[in-house]
Amino acid sequence: MKSVDFLKALGGVVAMVVACHTYAQASDSMSTGTMASAPAANSKAAKKENRALGKKVRSALAKAQGLDVSNINVRARDGAVTLTGTARDNDQIQKAGEVAKGVAGVTSVSNKINVQQQ
């Protein structure tokens, strides 16, 4: 008789442990789903900031006197700007890098512009 009562109690404890474990897993998945959407929102904001910075740099390059920007591409990411494309000579390449460094929000410039082959 005591063994039957013991088995009933043991069964009840096992049922409680399984129920608590299942509830904990459900709570973890809910909080993970909420956390997964937060980086997506930050990602959109970061992309928007990167596009705005790239636009500022392109605008500054276009306004620079004596600089042909028709073959220069600008890519911005977290304040780091990469310039690619071609220019007529080394002076143009240097000037493009200097202008990009002078734009507010630019933390670094990687100047990968090459001299145009003729």
Residue-level pLDDT, tens digit, the chain, 118 residues: 677 787 777 777 766 666 666 655 554 445 555 455 555 667 899 999 999 999 999 999 999 998 999 999 999 999 999 999 999 999 999 999 999 999 999 999 999 999 988 7
d(CA 91, CA 37): 46
Neighbours of 99 (CB within 10 A): 20
Nearest of 67, 65, 57 to residue 106 by alpha carbon: 57
d(CA 99, CA 13): 72
- Domains, the chain, in order of start with CATH, read 2-115 (3.30.1340.30)
Strand spans (E) along 27-107: 72-77, 80-87
Neighbours of 58 (CB within 10 A): 17
